[in-house]
Chain A
Amino acid sequence: MDFSLNDDHVALRDAVQRFCDGEYPAHQRGNLETPELAATRWAGMAELGLLGLPFDPELGGSGQSAIELMLVAQELGRSLGGGAWLSSVVLAGQLLAKAGTPAQCSRWLPALASGDLRLALAFGEADSRYDLSRVATAARTVNGVCRIDGRKTLVLDGDTADVFFVVARSAGATREPHGLTIFAIDAKARGVHVRPFATLDGRHAAHVDFDGVEVGADAIVGTAGEALPLLESAVDGAAAALCAEAAGAMEALLDLTAEHLKTRKQFGAPLAKFQVLQHRVADMLIALEQVKSMACAAAMAVDAGDAPQRRRIVSAAKSLVGQLGRQVGLAAIQLHGAMGMTDECRAGHYAKRLLVINQLFGDAAHHLQRLSAQPQC
């Protein structure tokens, strides 16, 4: 086992940190992004190489692993930044890189890496909760033409995506593991309706309806009818990155809280002098260290590529991080007093992101159940 960072890791981390410090001024962190601001930041991330990080060099990327993604996610978490990075690069981009045909990869990945194109994975549905196999969206193929009908919910950054990877059922009954196929569908294709909305943590998502959208067999990403394992590994990869984001967010939040406790005076003393608050902070720090460790473990498990082990560790990480992140977020509000409940104070924005992190890609209870259903390694 080795949890240490090499020089390249440190250089990457520092570069992302500098970028975030510039792009996400402290008093704006967590605010809803305007389209202009989002575009500038996206271009900046492209320039820094973050949008191609996990892809092969011949596709415009730098071929990095989940460890590097973790380091980046942690810095983005610290600044509540990153926009569509997680949804477009980590989730949809990696799915494509793993399963796409050479033609598909070279069509979309270089454009993604250069910041000219965004992808989004549309997998959730109104009834699916966190169950990836619960797909009602239907794909019927007649004479080589696939017709997609269905409604996808909570497509992260679905409002700005150029291409959707849509999980549809081409065979079998809802919840069956087989029969799922992923289709690449242009956001401008006929029959695609995007309904954008803001999320609790000041980000963007959309519900997307596919009404009789027609695509050819060349739109299939991966193996027809066998998309579930691919989908699962992509979602696990994103869940691992979210754990790292939570670690970064918690770290920044603790710094903010420490600053507050040292400067806010009540009863003639800084709040930091009250032992009960010191103990609260100690517990928050212990939580942070555990979250960091689990984020590292999750990233390594994603890289290792052994599916049962990946499931076990990602579930353990996501479940723990979901709980601890939310706890720390809410505790930080408490330590800020009424100030912490205001929109102006950043503590609440971190708390919101941490709350949302638990609700994405399976919450603590879901991953607890998935873990308990796993064979022991």
Chain B
Amino acid sequence: MKLEFSAADEAFRREVRAFVSANLPADIKRKVELGLRLEHEDYVTWFRKLESRGWITPGWPVEHGGPGWNHVQRYIFDEETLLGGAPRIIASGIQMLGPVLIAFGTEAQKKRYLPNIRHSSTWWAQGFSEPGAGSDLAAVRTTAVKGTDADGEHFIVNGHKVWTSYAQWCSMMFALVRTDPTAKAQEGISFLLIDMKSPGVELRPIRMLEGGTDLNEVYLDNVRVPAENLVGELNKGWSYGKYLLGHERTGIAGIGSCKQQLARARTLAEQQGLGDDPLLRSRLAQFDIELMALEFTALRLLSANQKSRVPAVEASMLKVRGTELRQAIYELLVDIAGPNAVPFSAEAQFLDCVGDLPAPVELGTLAANCLDSRKLSIYGGANEVQRNLIAKAFLAA
């Protein structure tokens, strides 16, 4: 046991830090630091910088373009990029679909899709949730019926997906669809790749609380999907979905984001003349303690699990704690803004509108950020459901 990172890890940290400061465009960094909205181009620009260094797909095996990092290196990378003001990696292609294709896809699928994910030229939408299937994902009702015609084998897909993040930027979607309506809930589901430009796909943006429209409803009306777009075996989609969600959750503790927001809180507190406020200082110190506990827990669990690829219960624990801590820090940020958290304009969330705002720009986005952060405990498996999983695994043992 040793409290410090190894010299090699520290050297790696410096390398990542230097890369971020040399390559992250100033306007993107500014947007991230002010909590402003990022555009599609911002992500693509940054992801391509990472790709050119071979760092965009830290979770992928080396033969598919991964950098071959261990858990600690991945952890350091996440932390340093976020602390340096870089956008987080959100492309569901990189973190979700990629690992599934690598594990279960055909050679043709890997060849066709993986490079485009790495180059950020194809963005993938995650088509899992439906109006009646949220936490209970096995309740998906979107159907895919297999048929053959002059153009070959295909599925005809009908249904309604919802909460599809960034679908407006995506040309492809991976979806869970029901291929055997007679089987038990989890056994008749397949994992299908759908071209978003196919006839019959319709997108409707959903307006969110803080004014954003990054979520969408996706209507699928007799959409024709070539049979080769089935991933793995027919009716085995549930297990691929579960594999994918495990990958979704591992990065979700967001320790780098916690640190970044806590640093933001300290800076703003100084600027607001609250640097000596004893109450605020003790709240900040309490967050330091909680963050430290989370960080050491993450590192301990990760090092104990060097060999397991998807540490399921551990990931759930880190998710619950990490997301709730981050939300609490966002609430603190609102308190630091004080009365300045009250004015609101959706425009205030864009860099080119920061000229004439009713609140100082660094404070004007905090309430919106706080509201937006509520999603952290809902998506990626709602925290109540995570707690159920954690308790169940322990009590069943």
B335-A352 in contact (CB<8A): no
Could you say which of A127, A198, A266, A326 contacts B345, with CB atoms under 8 Å apart? A198
C-alpha gap A360/B338 in the complex (Å): 8
B313 touches A (CB below 8 Å): no
B163-A338 in contact (CB<8A): yes
B358-A200 in contact (CB<8A): no
C-alpha gap A199/B358 in the complex (Å): 9
B343-A205 in contact (CB<8A): yes
B209 touches A (CB below 8 Å): yes
B375 touches A (CB below 8 Å): yes
Residues in chain A near residue B211, CB distance under 8 A: 343
The interface centre, meaning the residue of A197, A265, A340, A368 with most chain B CB atoms within 10 A of its CB, is A197
B261 touches A (CB below 8 Å): no
A330 touches B (CB below 8 Å): yes
A369 touches B (CB below 8 Å): yes
B25 touches A (CB below 8 Å): no
A195-B342 in contact (CB<8A): no
B36 touches A (CB below 8 Å): no
Could you say which of B272, B280, B374 contacts A333, with CB atoms under 8 Å apart? B374
B279-A368 in contact (CB<8A): yes
Could you say which of A268, A274, A343, A359 contacts B384, with CB atoms under 8 Å apart? A274
A344 touches B (CB below 8 Å): yes
C-alpha gap A195/B134 in the complex (Å): 44
Which residue of A is nearest B373, CB measured? A330
- With A207-B358, A277-B384, A341-B209 known to touch, is A266 a contact of B136 (CB < 8 Å)? yes
B129 touches A (CB below 8 Å): yes
A130-B378 in contact (CB<8A): no
Chain A contributes a number of interface residues (CB within 8 A of B) equal to 43
- A231 vs chain B, min Cβ distance (A): 16
C-alpha gap A352/B209 in the complex (Å): 9
Residues in chain B near residue A369, CB distance under 8 A: 279
A154-B343 in contact (CB<8A): yes
CB-defined interface of B178-214 with A at 8 Å, one 1/0 digit per residue? 0000000000000000000000000000111101000
B339-A154 in contact (CB<8A): yes
B343-A200 in contact (CB<8A): yes
Residues in chain A near residue B331, CB distance under 8 A: 326, 330
Chain B contributes a number of interface residues (CB within 8 A of A) equal to 45
C-alpha gap A214/B376 in the complex (Å): 53
The interface centre, meaning the residue of A326, A338, A342, A348 with most chain B CB atoms within 10 A of its CB, is A338
C-alpha gap A129/B338 in the complex (Å): 6
A355-B134 in contact (CB<8A): no
B310 touches A (CB below 8 Å): no
Which residue of B is nearest A195, CB measured? B358
CB-defined interface of B277-294 with A at 8 Å, one 1/0 digit per residue? 001100000000000000
Could you say which of A200, A276, A340, A343 contacts B344, with CB atoms under 8 Å apart? A200
CB-defined interface of A122-165 with B at 8 Å, one 1/0 digit per residue? 00100101100000000000000000000001100000000000
Which residue of A is nearest B132, CB measured? A265
C-alpha gap A179/B229 in the complex (Å): 77
A359-B342 in contact (CB<8A): yes
B298 touches A (CB below 8 Å): no
Residues in chain B near residue A205, CB distance under 8 A: 342-343, 358
B209-A342 in contact (CB<8A): yes
A337 touches B (CB below 8 Å): yes
Could you say which of A130, A330, A352 contacts B338, with CB atoms under 8 Å apart? A130
Residues in chain A near residue B368, CB distance under 8 A: 200
The interface centre, meaning the residue of B209, B280, B368 with most chain A CB atoms within 10 A of its CB, is B209
- B376 vs chain A, min Cβ distance (A): 10
- A140 vs chain B, min Cβ distance (A): 27
Which residue of A is nearest B360, CB measured? A126
Residues 351-397 of B at the A interface (beta carbon under 8 Å): 358, 367-368, 370-371, 374-375, 377-379, 382-384, 387-388
CB-defined interface of B243-286 with A at 8 Å, one 1/0 digit per residue? 00000000000000000000000000000110000011000000
C-alpha gap A276/B135 in the complex (Å): 14
Residues in chain A near residue B234, CB distance under 8 A: none
Which residue of B is nearest A368, CB measured? B279
A199-B342 in contact (CB<8A): yes
C-alpha gap A89/B26 in the complex (Å): 48
A267 touches B (CB below 8 Å): yes
Could you say which of A197, A267, A326, A341 contacts B343, with CB atoms under 8 Å apart? A197
A-B contact pairs, 23 of them (CB 8 A): A124-B339, A130-B338, A153-B339, A154-B342, A197-B344, A199-B342, A199-B343, A200-B343, A267-B135, A276-B384, A333-B209, A334-B383, A334-B384, A337-B382, A338-B379, A341-B208, A351-B209, A351-B371, A355-B367, A359-B341, A359-B342, A360-B339, A365-B280
Instruction: Taking A266-B136, A368-B279 as given, write out 5 further A-B residue pairs in contact, using a Cβ cutoff of 8 Å, ordered by the A residue number.
Output: A199-B342, A334-B377, A334-B378, A343-B211, A344-B206
